[in-house]
Amino acid sequence: MTNSTIPLAGVIGSPIAHSRSPRIHGHWLSALGLRGHYIPMDVTPDHLPDVLRALPKAGFVGANITIPHKEHVIGLVDKVTERAKRIGAANTLVFSTAGEITADNTDGYGFIQNLQSAGWIAGAGPAGVLGAGGASRAVIVALLDAGVPEILLCNRTRGRADALREEFGDRLRLFDWDDAGAMLDHCATVVNTTSLGMTGQPPLEVNLDRLHKDAVVTDIVYSPLQTPLLVAAQQMGCRTVDGLGMLLHQAVPGFEQWFGQRPEVDADVRAAALA
């Protein structure tokens, strides 16, 4: 890339039309007065290797990666950061001027920043995690690194939770899916990482009666912004943190590396993402 080249970035997934990332990065580019473009790219898994190798040659400085490529992309790049290796998935690629591709995962970072910006404290007590899929892995790694004393985990399919405990060790304590309500009794933080509660999906039906009033409840689902879980937790008097903030915060490190300035997560970018 020469000095006069306009830096390009984008998000690669399939489907991609509903991604909010172009609005987020587009807002920051114009708010900061930076040259650059950020576009959605619909790429199928069979084309991903060729597309990745072509992008640096076309002026791209990096890309976000989303469903269904987050795990698969790890095996297609030149370098993988430690946290992306631990999570086993990547969401942010950075291309060197020589075309070398580094894969990082900023989902866990975004998750923790979102909670901390609402005054959350990792050491306050155990964190209860509902779900043991791909998103759960990023949340678990982030919570462990942030210093939560214990993670209580339950998942509909018990074997997936067992596998996470095997991998991430004895700071994880498992509960059966049917005992999710009892699990909440012990939690200072509650996180939904399942797709339940998302528009078009059934609600997450968990009994909140035993939830402490000073617990912080968050959902990685951000459509709708106020999921049934968050609404119910608010009614219990708990502090809630919606999932849009995680999406905004995970975008910060990529933007900074590609375009050279650290953007703010503020009301304006929230509005842009929701527009």
Give whichever of 187 and 191 is closer to ligand ATR, judged by the CB atom: 191
Q: Which two tokens stand for residue 33?
A: 């007065």
- Does residue 74 belong to the site contacting ligand ATR (CB under 6 A)? no
Among 30, 117, 157, 234, binds ligand ATR (CB under 6 A): 157
Among 160, 171, 212, 239, binds ligand ATR (CB under 6 A): 160
Give whichever of 61 and 74 is closer to ligand ATR, judged by the CB atom: 74
Give the burial string for 120-135 (b: 16+ CB within 10 Å, else e).
Answer: bebeebbbbbbbbeeb
- Does residue 140 belong to the site contacting ligand ATR (CB under 6 A)? no
Among 29, 43, 87, 135, binds ligand ATR (CB under 6 A): 135
- Does residue 30 belong to the site contacting ligand ATR (CB under 6 A)? no
Give whichever of 202 and 237 is closer to ligand ATR, judged by the CB atom: 202
Choices 23-31, 118-126, 150-158, 241-249 (CB under 6 A): range interacting with ligand ATR: 150-158
- Does residue 131 belong to the site contacting ligand ATR (CB under 6 A)? yes
Which of 70, 79, 85, 213 is flagged as catalytic? 70
Q: Which of 68, 147, 66, 161 is nearest to 105 (CA)?
A: 66
Q: Report CA 34 to chain centroid distance, whole Å.
A: 25
Among 189, 194, 240, 257, binds ligand ATR (CB under 6 A): 194
Choices 37-45, 107-115, 193-201, 235-243 (CB under 6 A): range interacting with ligand ATR: 193-201
Give whichever of 5 and 201 is closer to ligand ATR, judged by the CB atom: 201
- Does residue 156 belong to the site contacting ligand ATR (CB under 6 A)? yes
**Contact (Cβ atoms closer than 8 angstroms) between residue 219 and residue 242:** yes
**Contact (Cβ atoms closer than 8 angstroms) between residue 239 and residue 216:** yes
**Contact (Cβ atoms closer than 8 angstroms) between residue 104 and residue 84:** yes
**Contact (Cβ atoms closer than 8 angstroms) between residue 244 and residue 273:** yes
- Contacts of residue 275, defined as CB under 8 A and 6 or more positions apart, other chains included, come to 23
Give whichever of 64 and 155 is closer to ligand ATR, judged by the CB atom: 155
DSSP characters for 6-44?
Answer: PPEEEEEESS-TT-SHHHHHHHHHHHTT---EEEEEE--
Among 115, 132, 269, 273, binds ligand ATR (CB under 6 A): 132
Q: Which two tokens stand for residue 262?
A: 């650290």
Active site residue 70: yes
- Say which DSSP state 220 is in: S
Residues involved in catalysis: 70
- Residues in touch with ligand ATR (CB under 6 A): 131-136, 155-157, 160, 193-196, 202
